[in-house]
Amino acid sequence: MHANRDLPRQLEGYRLATAEILYYMPDHPGVLQTFVWQHYDLAPSYPRLNRFLDYWRREIDAVLNSVTVGRRQIIAAPSVSAAQSLFALKGLPDS
């Protein structure tokens, strides 16, 4: 993904979405396999992910078990956290 193309999309509300897709292997229906899908999408409706899942259901023999979605807001204000410890450093003795 290229930053110069992605920035306008992020400004429109698109965020990097990652979906972990668990599916049953067609030849071994008792075995789960994982597939990771990642693309810019619009939360909470995820139209691009839903198009991909519709394609999967139509064209791929593997039956879906579950889909877990996470998203990351790329453009955000910096986060600030308080320091848990404070250390005072003293200068070295003159030699």
Task: Tell whether 8 is covered by a domain.
Answer: yes
Residue 11 has pLDDT above 80, yes or no: no
Per-residue pLDDT tens digits for 17-73: 899 999 999 999 999 999 999 999 998 899 999 999 999 999 999 999 999 998 665
Strands 15-24 and 63-72: antiparallel
pLDDT of residue 82: 62
Task: Tell whether 12 is covered by a domain.
Answer: yes
Task: Tell whether 16 is covered by a domain.
Answer: yes
pLDDT of residue 7: 77
Q: Residue 28 — left, alpha, or beta (φ > 0 → left; ψ -120 to 50 → alpha)?
A: beta
Which structural domain, as residue segments, surrounds residue 52? Answer: 3-72
Task: Tell whether 81 is covered by a domain.
Answer: no
Task: Tell whether 92 is covered by a domain.
Answer: no
Count structural domains, the chain: 1
Task: Tell whether 77 is covered by a domain.
Answer: no
